Amino acid sequence: MLSLADVTYHPPATARPILKQVNFTIQPQSLTLIVGVSGAGKTTLLELIAGLATPTGGKILWREQALQAVDLQELAGLVFQFPERHFCGLTVLEELRLGHPELTLEQVQQVLSTVHLSDVPLHQPPHLLSGGQQRRLALAVQLIRQPYLLLLDEPLAGLDWSMRQQVMQLLQELKQNWALLVVSHDTRELSAMADQVWSLEQGTLVPAGSQGQTLEMPCS
Ligand SMILES: Nc1ncnc2c1ncn2[C@@H]1O[C@H](COP(=O)(O)OP(=O)(O)OP(=O)(O)O)[C@@H](O)[C@H]1O
Ligand SMILES: [Mg+2]
């Protein structure tokens, strides 16, 4: 169980805090959805939870114990927006083993099966996969590290209807084993599977609904 307690982010370069006293808890096997317009601070929040930036106030806690950035880097796996743009392996196998040459073929096959990519040849170049397959590979790259929490930045952005369905189905499955935190400017499809929905407005987190409710949010 991961909690944010009064997390604030106010880098010296900005006149106002980007995040102000953000509080919420992420339960295991759940999906938390945070929505907000462009510039609301969604990606910044994920970077803090992933240990890529450090809050200027408040704490991020794991079972009441305050975590440092290095702990968060182990605990959380961040899938960036448009993750396929960051692929650097020449093959699917290489992409999954980047930084982890010790991973066995069995571990690689297992994670590919989790994201329904077992049929893809290991020597396939990632850029030759379909858009939906690339998103699933990006998830596998994080899952293979066995994080507690998966952080997803706009996981449906730029996908057509059928690829969105593939990714949503997979998120629904991953929720059975992982804690997921999804940020998006668009609630339409994801709010139905969310266990908690928050809205990020001017740096403050506001409850936006509960399980299964459809929200009327303007799309940016
Ligand atoms: N380190 C930083 N220093 C100064 N300003 C920053 C820093 N990081 C982010 N910002 C600013 O904070 C605000 C929030 O940015 P962020 O990228 O987190 O928003 P977002 O909700 O992810 O937007 P989008 O939907 O466009 O991805 C923006 O105004 C951004 O320019
Ligand atoms: Mg963003």
- CATH assignment of the domain containing 193: 3.40.50.300
Range of the domain at 117: 2-209
Catalytic residue among 154, 189, 201, 216: 154
Q: Given this model, what pLDDT does residue 57 score?
A: 97
pTM over 0.85: yes
Residues flanking ligand 1, CB < 6 Å: 11, 13-14, 18, 36, 38-44, 185
84 noted as active-site residue: no
Determine, yes or no, domain membership for 182.
yes
Determine, yes or no, domain membership for 130.
yes
Residue 178 pLDDT greater than 60, yes or no: yes
> Which amino acid residue places its CA nearest to atom 1 of ligand 1?
11
Residue 214 pLDDT greater than 90, yes or no: no
pLDDT bracket for residue 49 (50, 70, 90): very high
> What whole-number distance in Å separates Cα of residue 80 and Cα of residue 99?
17
What is the mean pLDDT of the segment spanning 98-126?
95
How far apart are the CA of 68 and the centre of ligand 1, in A?
Answer: 22
> Which amino acid residue places its CA nearest to atom 27 of ligand 1?
38
Count: domains in the chain: 1
